[in-house]
Structure 1
């Protein structure tokens, strides 16, 4: 039975990838081809981070994306426990720049200091321009106008909370605050409208 990661990878390779290759004239250098952007969204604890890592592992080994995959985790850009939307929007200029064939930059957030962190550049210095960017995190659907494909992860709240607590310990200080922001993001950009795949990480 296909895993969620293999289903998402197949979506990129068979649907988005084929369209992307068809748009580029024969002989176009890889650096000049359009960057494909995949979004992976879902509520906290749905399994997005693991799914994104697994998808990157698969696609890093496959043509046309071999060695040219960049992973952008929105967790690195949320501006604190009330900054879900601001963090997602901070990544928008990165995707716009990558679409022009340029490097993009976005501020990060230092969760230990509860303060802005260093600016992150994509691709990282010394890395080739990516052919595929995977944007993973709550609110990725807010960037739907930059996405070529979107996978939405569904899980019951009890399962999601248990996962979050196994990873981080007691989540009572932020769970409801974050859930309200998830609700707001869902209202602004309904993932069921944009998602190419709806999955559960436990499938």
Structure 2
């Protein structure tokens, strides 16, 4: 069975390491803030000038003046700092973010990502994605494996305008966890109950399947 949004966020959080500075993109990536292990300390950064984001607020905790880069209301962790977006982007461009988690429309087996524009459709826009893919060495993309029409989003070559070239090394979809190496997707894990055959059928780019592909653990 394909992973839910919450399961995707939970699996992404398993990629966090103690002491990491992390930027979480809009959508599914942001939900990962709710699954940080209790014994781990990571610092979440937002492009609009917050260092030290907390989990999503409960209804009684909502402060309409406290938002992240996606205009979602947020909470602050103990010791959080608020500063200008210019300083925030200097942190990103200076390579001081240890892990970035982004959504995407397409990723190809060369590590290219298309995440900000679909011609003819109204999309929120670039945001900080282009700076994040240029300034970070460790980027995970999380998205559905295929579109609602069943078309693969893991391609031999992206068809949409690129956000970044050759910058993506790992992709988590609702069906699988894959690494990108030497022009191929390498299947590392599969969602519980999802077969290798289904993943093959929904991956348009070159896919390498190891002898053993374990199910994801939650």
Q: TM-score, normalised by structure 2?
A: 0.34
- More helix by proportion, 1 or 2? 1
More strand by share: 2
| Larger RCO of the pair (alpha carbons < 8 Å, separation 6+) | 1
